[in-house]
């Protein structure tokens, strides 16, 4: 039975798993069970002596969460609702895409990971922020989503996007050690190029992240071409207006020599006029950034809507013709299963 009084094994970096009188090779066996096989249950670790398993289970909890609902299908988008040890809910989304060139098609699996229960930043269109921030996730709860979602998928996860519930940069103390474990070949061994962190624009934290050694990718949730438009839907813009945000981005890019992405959700009548498209193209040129356009996913109880497909296409064309370095239009695959993060949890806690 999970107890909140016991620490979580995954909250401790595995090179610090330091149990009295437990030989190193035993720790190595546990590491393999956890990270290579994804077993978060002492009973399944068949090469450990019973007495050791019972000792260790007295000291630490293995599983940070359990799946309480899985929605969707394995060939497109699968959304998993997790219950944490303190009965809070978070969600992760598995997204399968087929890509490739010259007849070689490969199926890539991306996991969208949460970093907080709720979110303090209160973007007006977002389900995650509706009830404010409940708490930060711990390192183990971040890593646990990936281990357990990998079990759920039954295959390796190719890409990680920190675009689930919460603002990743508001939880750097837990996220950085999680990234260390995710990146390490002895941990999850996912390459930095396959990891994207999305932020609504916490300027000082973008600068802090710039000195993190691994080359993870950064995406900025822009959602407005000028301050006036952006502040209507993103209160964070009052603290860090666009110019300040872009200066931090420039510093990040200068330090990292890596392209960033500007994410732009399209909301009908709010930020979808072509003036905004022109501004967005200008910004993308200035930062030499990719642009990712995402038509808005409706959230129950909120007034916002996605624009008509014609307007979406026109907006896309205008940004592309403004010579933005690269523009993609992402039609949300899981629209029909509440794929925008935060929505499944919202339904669960409103029951």
Q: Can residue 265 be called a binding residue for ligand SAH (CB under 6 A)?
A: yes
> Residue 266's closest CA among 228, 230, 294?
294
Q: Which string of DSSP letters, residue by residue, matches 81-148?
A: EEEETTS-EEEEEEEEEEE-STT--EEEEEEE---EEE-SS--TT-STTTT-EEEEPPHHHHHHHHHH
CB of 322 to ligand SAH, least distance (A): 21
The C-alpha atoms of residue 260 and residue 1 are separated, in whole angstroms, by 44
Residue 35 interacting entry, from ligand SF4, ligand SAH, none, C-beta within 5 to 8 Å by type:
none
Q: Which does 340 bind (CB under 5 to 8 A by kind): ligand SF4, ligand SAH, none?
A: ligand SAH
DSSP states of 322-342 as a string? TT-SEEEE---TTGGGT-STT
CA 107 to CA 154: how far, in whole Å? 13
Spatial separation of the C-alpha atoms in residues 289 and 204, rounded to whole Å: 20
Selected from 45, 324, 340, 344, the binder of ligand SAH by CB under 6 A is: 340
Member of 52, 80, 117, 123 binding ligand SF4 (CB under 6 A): 123
**Which one is catalytic: 91, 141, 167, 263?**
91
Question: Between 126 and 291, whose beta carbon lies closer to ligand SAH?
Answer: 126
Q: Does 117 bind ligand SF4 (CB under 6 A)?
A: no
Give the count of residues interacting with ligand SF4 (CB under 6 A).
11
Partner touching 299 among ligand SAH, ligand SF4, none, CB below 5 to 8 Å by kind: ligand SAH
Distance (Å, rounded) from C-alpha 203 to C-alpha 137?
21
Query: Residue 145 or residue 297: which is nearer to ligand SAH going by CB?
Result: 297
Say whether residue 128 binds ligand SF4 (CB under 6 A): yes
Question: Considering the rule CB under 6 A, would residue 163 count as an interface residue with ligand SAH?
Answer: yes
Q: Which helix (H) or strand (E) holds 311?
A: helix 309-321
Catalytic positions: 91, 341
């Amino acid at each position: 039975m999970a107890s909140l009084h016991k620490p979580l094994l995954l909250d401790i970096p595995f090179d610090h798993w330091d149990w009295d009188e437990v030989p190193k090779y035993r720790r190595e066996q546990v590491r393999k069970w956890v990270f290579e096989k994804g077993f978060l249950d002492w009973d399944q670790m068949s090469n450990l002596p019973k007495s050791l398993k019972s000792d260790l289970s007295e000291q630490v909890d293995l599983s940070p969460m359990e799946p309480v609902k899985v929605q969707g299908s394995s060939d497109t988008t699968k959304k998993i609702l997790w219950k944490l040890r303190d009965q809070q809910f978070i969600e992760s989304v598995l997204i399968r895409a087929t890509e490739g060139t010259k007849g070689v098609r490969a199926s890539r699996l991306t996991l969208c990971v949460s970093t907080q229960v709720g979110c303090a930043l209160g973007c007006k269109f977002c389900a995650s922020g509706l009830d404010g921030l409940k708490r930060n996730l711990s390192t183990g709860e971040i890593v646990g989503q990936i281990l357990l979602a990998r079990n759920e998928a039954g295959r390796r996860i190719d890409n990680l996007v920190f675009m689930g519930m919460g603002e990743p940069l508001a939880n750097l103390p837990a996220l950085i050690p999680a990234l260390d474990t995710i990146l390490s070949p002895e941990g999850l061994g996912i390459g930095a190029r396959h990891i994207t962190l999305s932020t609504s624009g916490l300027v000082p934290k973008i600068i802090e992240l710039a000195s993190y050694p691994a080359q993870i990718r950064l995406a900025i949730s822009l959602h407005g071409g000028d301050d006036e438009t952006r502040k209507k839907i993103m209160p964070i813009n009052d603290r860090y207006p666009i110019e300040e945000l872009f200066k931090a981005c420039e510093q990040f890019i200068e330090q990292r020599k890596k392209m960033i992405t500007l994410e732009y959700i399209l909301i009908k009548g709010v930020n979808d006029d072509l003036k905004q498209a022109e501004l967005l193209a200008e910004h993308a040129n200035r930062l030499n950034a990719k642009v990712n356009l995402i038509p808005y996913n409706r959230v129950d109880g909120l007034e916002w809507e996605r624009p008509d497909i014609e307007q979406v296409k026109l907006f896309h064309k205008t940004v592309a013709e403004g010579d933005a370095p690269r523009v993609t239009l992402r039609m949300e695959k899981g629209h029909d299963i509440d794929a925008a993060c935060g929505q499944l949890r919202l339904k669960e806690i409103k029951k």
